[in-house]
Amino acid sequence: MEEKTVNLTIDGTKVKANEKMTILEAAKLVGIDIPTLCFLKDVNEVGDCRMCIVEVEGKKGFATSCIQKVEEGMVIHTHSPAVLEARRVVLDLILSNHHKDCLTCSRSGNCELQNLAIKFNVQNIEYTGEQSEHLIDDLSPSIVRDFNKCILCRRCIATCKNVQKIGAIDCINRGFESCISTVGNNSLRDVNCTNCGQCIEACPTGALREKDNTDEVWNVLKDDKKYVIVQTAPAVRVALGEEFGLPIGTNVTGKMVTALKKLGFDKVFDTNTGADLTIMEEANEFVERLKANRDLPMITSCSPGWVKYIEMNYPENLKHLSTCKSPHEMFGAILKSYYAQKNGIDPKSICVVSVMPCIAKKYEAKREELSNNGMPDVDIVVTTRELARMIKQGNIEFVELDDSKFDIPMGEATGAGAIFGTTGGVMEAALRTVCETLTGKELGKIEFESVRGEESIKRTTIEIGGNKIKAVVAHGLANAQKIMEEIKAGEADYQFVEIMACPGGCVMGGGQPIKSSKTRMNIDVRKKRAEALYTIDGRSIIRKSHESPVMIQLYKEYLEKPGSHKAHELLHTHYIPRVKYNI
The catalytic residue positions are 282, 285, 302, 322, 361, 364, 369, 506
Q: What is the C-alpha separation between 318 and 338, in angstroms, rounded?
A: 30
Q: What is the C-alpha separation between 153 and 178, in angstroms, rounded?
A: 12
Q: What is the dihedral of CA 454, 458, 462, 467, to 10 degrees?
A: 150
What is the bridge-based pairing of β-strands 63-64 and 467-475? unpaired
If you write DSSP's letter for every residue of 1-60 in order, what string do you get? -PPPEEEEEETTEEEEEETT-BHHHHHHHTT-----SS-BTTTB----S-TTEEEETTSS
Q: What is the C-alpha separation between 372 and 573, in angstroms, rounded?
A: 11
Instruction: Give the number of other CB atoms < 10 A from CB of residue 533.
Output: 25
Residues facing 352 on adjacent strands: 229
Report the phi/psi class of residue 37: left, alpha or beta, with left for phi > 0 and alpha for psi in -120 to 50.
alpha
Picking from 98, 46, 52, 48, the residue whose alpha carbon sits closest to that of residue 78 is 52
Kindly report whether the peptide bond that precedes residue 409 is cis, defined as omega within 30 degrees of 0.
yes
Kindly list the distances between the CA atom of residue 498 and the CA atoms of 186, 320, 326, 435, 457, in Å, as whole numbers in the listed order.
32, 11, 13, 17, 10
Q: Are 477 and 312 in contact (CB under 8 A)?
A: no
**First CA to last CA distance, the chain:** 52
Q: What is the C-alpha separation between 523 and 247, in angstroms, rounded?
A: 11
Residue type at 215 in one-letter notation? D
Q: What is the C-alpha separation between 217 and 207, in angstroms, rounded?
A: 24
Q: What is the C-alpha separation between 22 and 11, in angstroms, rounded?
A: 16
Residue 183 φ then ψ, to 5°: -60, 125
- Cβ neighbours for 96, distance < 8 A, ≥ 6 positions apart: 125, 127, 128, 129, 131
Q: Please tell me what DSSP assigns to residue 65.
A: T
Kindly report whether the peptide bond that precedes residue 247 is cis, defined as omega within 30 degrees of 0.
no
Q: How many residues does the chain have?
A: 583
Kindly list the distances between the CA atom of residue 401 and the CA atoms of 245, 397, 398, 408, in Å, as whole numbers in the listed order.
14, 7, 5, 21
